Each structure stands twice: as structure tokens, then as C-alpha cells.
Amino acid sequence: MPRPLSVGNGNLLVNLDGDLVMRDLYYPYVGMMNQIEGRRNMMGFWSDGHFTWIDEPSWSKSLDFLPDTLVTHCVAENETVGLRLTVNDAVHYRSDLYMKKVKVENLRADSRAVRVFFANDFNIDESDIGDTALFDPDLRAIYHYKRNRCFIIDGRVGTGAGEGAGRGIVQFSTGRKRFAGAEGTWRDAEDGKLEGHLISQGSVDSAIGFDLELAPCGAETLYYWIAAGVGFDSARAVHGLALSAGPERLLAETATFWRGWVSREEARLGHLPPELASFFKRSVLVVRTQLDNRGGIVAANDTDILRHNRDHYSYVWPRDGAMVAYALDLAGYHAITRRFFRFCERAISREGFLWHKYHPNGSVGSSWHPWVSKAEFVLPVQEDETASVLWALGNHFRCDRNVEFIDSVYQTLVEPAAEFLAGYRDPETKLPRPSWDLWEERQGVFTYTAAATYAGLLAAAYFGELFGDPAAKRWREAGEEVREAVLEHLYDSKLGRFLRGVYVNAEAGLSPDYTLDASLFGVILFGLLPADDERVVRTMQLVRDRLWVSTDVGGVARYTNDYYFKKSDDVERVPGNPWIICTLWVARWYAAKARTADELKVALSILEWVRSHAMPGGHLPEQLHPYSGQPLSVAPLTWSHAEVISTVLEFLAKAEELGVEVELSEEDRLGLPPRDPGEGEGGGTGGPLTPPGAGA
């Protein structure tokens, strides 16, 4: 199940599923380590001799956040047991404290005793070997610990403010889980009574219970928290904050902090429809939850993907990070993006390239790129990743103008990366040498990669000129050679569009890949050609028309006959699943080339389409099911939300440049394939489209 709710502070990240069950708890890095690995950490309720877990079908739920915050606001109701819950979850913005507030309402007209249970299932540092769960009689709290990880679990019924306030844990137990026939201590709760085992070691879990007394149609409030720390003393200090300040105050100050943090673009957002302005801020907040405080920008932290592949998206892809950094710099969050560039500075290889992906602590991540092809060593990289980081650093400087920061990374990041990009080229064609494409599926020379290489070299040359480095001239010349090579070898004048790429064959030379691919937007993204260039217009019209999913869902596929999570063999109508980033690339193209309010409206309508396909609470997945519109792959995908940020800010910048206001009618919100105003079925502003079949 995808994760519609994420709360975090850059050290501690918690994801909840659509049943309000905690599924992921990352600490001390965002994306590393997942201390519960997708296990069900959930609430249960005992009343009138009946027990129910929160993820049972008898509960109806609505999911959301308090406006402009990283504090959830969810409602769950169960008519069978006569209870309604209002639930707020948050991680304190400064301290590593996860908090849950549960208001429990009695829907019946008689007094009732209700016992609320919490099941705690940890695999500390992603292993259940050697864990300990114990009850501390002094704090009357549960510990889960191993080595230098400690989690203290506690709670209060009542105000939750001040030392000793409220009623604490009344029942507890620890025990074995998923070993020697034991399912787990959560089963012990289902008769309404926990056995009180004081300590367990090995593969262990725990459960705690709180007593509520509900008046007729009355309510009580319960607070639950997990204090994370490096060892007992560290965790006790965080737990002490929860006791002394009280979780109610800590929740309130966390909400206040995030409202202030996300309000940076408040004035400009007034030019958007209110719901879209709110969605923009939600995207900024979601992105923040996926950023580690040491600089790693993690692609996604949804362990549900482990069901499909025994790996995950909790890695730092330099490309994804560069796109997120670009968006955040547009939005003014320069201090955060500087951490990412520092991360890349530490991670770059001695040869000057960035590897496929990294763990959030900077170590090299897993990969499926072989080091050998046809009995020869090949560099297992996606060259656009290294190039994109330089391009994003160039954008960072345009936004921030911090010369001292650029100087501090010039010799350690800019120079080695630029030397690699300039040298890793074919001496005859001047194109980059073969590397893996941005989709990580094939090895060749691709338009997107070459465009990124051009932009990365020009950014490095600009920095070199800034510091008077003679190498700048060579880097700029190399970049211009790449640009000319793209126009010569990767544009097909007969088709009237760019190729996805070419494959190098020692005997046959360059073999073209005619597959229509949304990543051809890279020609615009990296500034190789302007958005209104005739070659770009024809290419992007084909992307728009032939990669649009012709179902009620709509959206743009990655490329023709995309196999990843494939849900349809009807390639003519469903060339692939709709991807959020690919759909927004079309919106960004429209915004870039717009000359009138009507043209700019197309970009706004695509943004509205994206907003309408967000999950409850505002999270965006990587892709959608082409028939149901349900999220596929991981959610939230950080890059998806970064594209929302970039598209909105580029749209607003163009509206300001044109001096226009743009409004949407109901027809504009229908999710139809975007069209230029006044465009006929077969034409467009860029001339005739490619003949049928040529884009396959």
C-alpha cells in the first residue's frame, strides 16, 4: 500500500499507510535505516467485549494534513464499535520525537470504558537479530534498543502537558515475533489484556495499553510518542521533552514552524487558484520530508516497493537530487540545496563522475549496471547524473549569487566533474560516450544525456570564467561541440524530430533509436534549444499527442511501449502508464513557449490534472494506473513533487513576464489531452506532424 502520509524533520521520517498504520520509521538518516521495515505498527481498541484493529474494513477513514503543515489531520469512524477518532501525527521539527494525538469520541448515549492499544514492531537497523524490548519501571515506558539505537515508547491520557500530567500506560507486554511459532505480542492485545512480560530479546515486539472513560457522547484525548536517540541517555532526553513540555504544545509549535517555513512564496501564489496554491505548498513540504539533514535527497521512502523487487527507492540518485535542488532553489531554499551539493562533493569519484546511486550516508548504493560489455570494461554510469548536478549548481548560483560557496566546491566538485564530461566523449562525433539512459534501462548515446552534458559543461565554464581558470575555455568549447553533435546526429530532419538516442556499433556506426520518449524535453530543460524552436515544437507535439494515455485517466507515458509496471497491451491507446514527471514536462514546455494567456492556460490545466490525481493528503506517486488512476510504484516520489514546484514557479514567472492573469474554466479541468489554442487535429504551431507510425 502506498504511503499517503509522511512526517519528518530530516533525521526522523515516519510514513503511514491509508489505514493510519505506521509502516516506515527511518532514523537516524532519512532513507536509512528503516527501523520497522514496513511492519504493521498500529492502534487497536477494546470496548464492550469487542476488539478491533484500525486497519480492519469496518473503519472508514479520511486522510489529510492541517493546512500548510507537516501535521496530519485524519478522521476514522467505526459504527460497529461506536467510535470516532480524530488523529494528528507529527515529528517535532527540531527534536527526534514522533507524536500521535488521538481524540476518541463515543458515538453512543451510554458511558463506556475503552482500552486503546499500540503495537510496536521494530527491526532495529533493519534486522530482528539481537533486539531488546523492555519495560522501565521508573519511567513506566517501553524501550526498544540495539547497539547505539534506542526508542522509548510512552503516552498519556488527558492534557498531556507538564511533568506527570495525565494517565500513563496501564498495560504492557513484550514478547517474541515471527519466530518459533510466535506471531507477536499484538495478538496478546486481542483479548483486551496484556500479560506484562518485562523484557524480551531476539526477534521481539511490544504492546502498550491506555484506559479511557467516555461519557455518553463524550470524548477523551490520548497522546502516544516515540523518542529516538543514540543510546539510553539521548533517548531519555527527548522523552523528557515530551513529558515536560507536553505533546500538545510540541504539536502546536511544530505546526507553527512549518506554516512559517513554507510561506516563502505566499505573495506570488495569490495568482494561482487557491487549491493549486495549497497543493504547491504541500509539494514543498512533502519534498522536505524526503531530505536528509546531511544533504541526501532521497528518491522515495515507500517500502511497499519491496513486494516487487528486493530493493527500494531509498537512495540518493544524483539526477533526482539535481532536479529537486533546481526546484528548491527556484523556491528560495538555498541553504537546503547547499547541503546537497556538499553531499555530491563528498560522493564524487576520483575520476570525476558520480555513481549510479548512493545511500543517504554517502556510501555507493546497489546497482544493476554491468561493468563489462562485449568483453570490454564499460563505465557503469548514467552520465546525465554528473552533468545534471553541475547544471543544478549553475542554477543555484543564478538564484543565490553566493560566490564564496561556489569557490568552496570549485576544485572538489566542479573541476573534476567538468574534466570528466569534457573527456568522456567520442573524438570523432564529439558526442558523449555511451552510458545508461535516465530511465536506467539501456546503454547508448541519448539526447537527454547529451543535452545535460552540454548544460553541465557550460555551467562549469561559467564558474571557471568567474575565477579566471584557463580550463573554462576548453570546457565551453567542449559543450558547444556537444551541442553541434546533438543537432547533427540526434535530430532526424526527415522525421522532423529528435531521436531518443543512437547506439554505437563498431561496424555499422551510429544506429538510431526511433522510440518516442518524453525525456526529449531535455533539449528544452537544459537549454540546448529554445522551447519555440521549430525542431523542439514538432518533437514536443509528438510527445504530447502520441504519449498521451487515451483513457479517462490521461497523462503522459515515458515512452512508447513502456514495460515498467505495464498494465495494458493496447499500446496505441496506452503507450505506457502515465507518469507525473513526464506529464509536467509537457506543462513546462507550454509555459516556456507561451506568448499569450490562452497558451499559458494549457500549462495551468495540466497542473490541475496533476493536483486532481494526488492521493488523499496530497502525495504524488511515480506513475498512475492507466485505467483506474490509482498510484503505482512508490509514493510519494520526491521528483514528482519537485516537478510541481518547478512547473508552478516557471508558470508564474512567465505570467509575470507577459503581464497576464490566467483562469481555468470547468472545461479546462477535464483532463483532456492538451492542445495549443486554435490548433487543428493534424497541425500545430510547429508545422506538420510526423507521418503515422514514424514515432514508434
Dist CA 583 CA 516 (whole Å): 14
Number of neighbouring beta carbons within 10 Å of residue 26: 26
Vertex 448, ends 343 and 544: CA angle to 5°?
120
Query: Residues 6 or more apart from 370 whose CB is under 8 A from it?
Result: 378, 380
For 524-551, what is each residue's pLDDT tens digit?
999 999 999 999 999 999 999 999 999 9
Number of neighbouring beta carbons within 10 Å of residue 130: 13
Report pLDDT for 160: 53
Diameter of the chain measured on Cα atoms = 86
Q: Which three cell numbers stand for residue 430?
A: 564529439
Q: Is the pLDDT of residue 305 over 70?
A: no
CA distances from 607 to 521, 671, 677 (A): 17, 10, 17
Q: For the chain, how far is it from start to end, CA to CA, in angstroms?
A: 34
Dist CA 460 CA 332 (whole Å): 22
Q: Between the CA atoms of 260, 262, 267 and 268, what dihedral angle is there, to the nearest 10 degrees?
A: 170
- Pick from 371, 392, 368: which is nearest to 380 by CA? 371
- Pick from 263, 221, 241: which is nearest to 69 by CA? 263
Dist CA 77 CA 74 (whole Å): 10
CA distances from 298 to 69, 90, 190, 292 (A): 20, 20, 38, 7
- SS3 of 374-387: CCEECCCCCHHHHH
User: Is there a contact between 344 and 358 (Cβ–Cβ < 8 Å)?
Assistant: no
Dist CA 21 CA 54 (whole Å): 7
Burial degree of 610 (CB within 10 A; 0-12, 13-18, 19+) = buried
Average the pLDDT over 452-468 and give the result.
Answer: 98
Residue type for position 229:
G
CATH topology of domain 41-261: Beta-galactosidase; Chain A, domain 5 (2.70.98)
Q: Between the CA atoms of 101, 93, 299 and 41, what dihedral angle is there, to the nearest 10 degrees?
A: -30
User: Is there a contact between 85 and 75 (Cβ–Cβ < 8 Å)?
Assistant: yes
Query: Residues 6 or more apart from 423 whose CB is under 8 A from it?
Result: none
> Helix (H, G, I), strand (E, B), or coil: what is residue 227?
strand
Domain boundaries, the chain: 41-261, 271-286+538-696, 316-515
Q: Where are the beta strands (DSSP E) in 287-430?
A: 372-373, 376-377
Q: Is the pLDDT of residue 166 over 70?
A: yes
Dist CA 155 CA 140 (whole Å): 10
Report pLDDT for 683: 34
Q: Is the pLDDT of residue 124 over 70?
A: yes
Vertex 638, ends 633 and 644: CA angle to 5°?
105
Residue with more model confidence, 216 or 694: 216
Per-residue b/e over 229-264, b at no fewer than 16 CB within 10 Å? Answer: beeeebbbebbebbbebbbbebbeebbebbbebbee
Sign, Cα dihedral of 343, 348, 350, 355? positive
Determine the angle formed by the axes of helices 383-400 and 447-466, rounding to 10 degrees.
40
Report pLDDT for 282: 98
Q: Is the pLDDT of residue 629 over 50?
A: yes
Query: Residues 6 or more apart from 335 whose CB is under 8 A from it?
Result: none
For 485-501, what is each residue's pLDDT tens digit?
999 999 999 999 999 99
List beta partners, residue 389.
none
Q: Is the pLDDT of residue 445 over 80?
A: yes
- Pick from 246, 239, 241: which is nearest to 223 by CA? 246
For 412-429, what is each residue's pLDDT tens digit?
999 999 999 999 999 999
- SS3 of 617-654: CCCCCCEECCCCCCEECCCCCHHHHHHHHHHHHHHHHH
- Pick from 93, 92, 90, 112: which is nearest to 101 by CA? 90
Q: For the domain 316-515, what is the CATH code?
A: 1.50.10.10
> Helix (H, G, I), strand (E, B), or coil: what is residue 15?
strand
Report pLDDT for 54: 97
Report pLDDT for 265: 86
Query: Residues 6 or more apart from 229 whose CB is under 8 A from it?
Result: 96, 150, 151, 152, 235, 236, 237, 238
Average the pLDDT over 307-315 and give the result.
Answer: 75
Query: Residues 6 or more apart from 118 whose CB is under 8 A from it?
Result: 41, 42, 43, 44, 153, 155, 207, 208, 209, 224
DSSP state of 36: S
Report pLDDT for 303: 75
In percent, the amount of the chain with pLDDT more than 70 equals: 95
User: Is there a contact between 213 and 220 (Cβ–Cβ < 8 Å)?
Assistant: yes
Average the pLDDT over 116-142 and give the result.
Answer: 96
The overall average pLDDT reported for the chain is: 93
Average the pLDDT over 92-99 and give the result.
Answer: 98
Dist CA 537 CA 685 (whole Å): 7
List beta partners, residue 376.
373
In percent, the amount of the chain with pLDDT more than 90 equals: 88
Q: Is the pLDDT of residue 211 over 50?
A: yes
DSSP string, 66-101: STTSS-B-EEEEETTTTEEEEEEEEE-SSSSEEEEE
Dist CA 549 CA 460 (whole Å): 39
Residue with more model confidence, 456 or 305: 456
For 227-281, what is each residue's pLDDT tens digit?
999 999 999 999 999 999 999 999 999 999 999 999 998 889 999 999 999 999 9
Q: Is the pLDDT of residue 44 over 90?
A: yes
User: Is there a contact between 239 and 141 (Cβ–Cβ < 8 Å)?
Assistant: yes
